Amino acid sequence: MLPELLSLEIGSLIELLCLQALACAKLLNAKKGGQVLTPGSKPSLLIRQRSLQLWEGLQRLPGAEPLLQSPPPAGLVSFTMAGQNPDACVRWLGERNIWLRSLPEPACLRACTHISTDQDDLQRLLDQLRQL
């Protein structure tokens, strides 16, 4: 490919990615009342609050065991479910439109809370985990 065409193609791709990122930011801002995520901002605190709520919910859920012994410092909550294969749990939850991931070492599930996560999302996850 000629260098001029490659530059044009890369420039077009970058422009498209920027437009998509802007559209996503507008959607998230609209959902959360126009808040913008910055370290220490209210949305950042909201993420930590939601991860704390999930961590506390997992503490009360029979068979669930968070990997951390204290509340998570950010939006990632890793945990195990007694007697359950993490990959199988991810598939089962995905069939119910709940999206987590599994990690190989240590073998566990990982949930991620963000500014778009609300209390209903957390409750739905905990309710589904209760059914495993």
Helix (H, G, I), strand (E, B) or coil at 67: coil
More confident residue, 83 or 36: 83
CB-based contacts of 102: which residues, under 8 Å, 6+ apart?
86, 87, 89, 90, 108, 109, 110
pTM for this entry: 0.70
Q: What pLDDT does residue 44 have? A: 83
Distances (CA, A) of 100 to 6, 23, 28, 60, 113: 37, 24, 20, 19, 10
Q: For the segment 19-58, what is each residue's pLDDT rounded down to a tens digit?
A: 565 555 556 655 555 455 555 567 788 899 999 999 999 9
Measure the CA–CA gap between 118 and 68, rounded to whole angstroms: 22
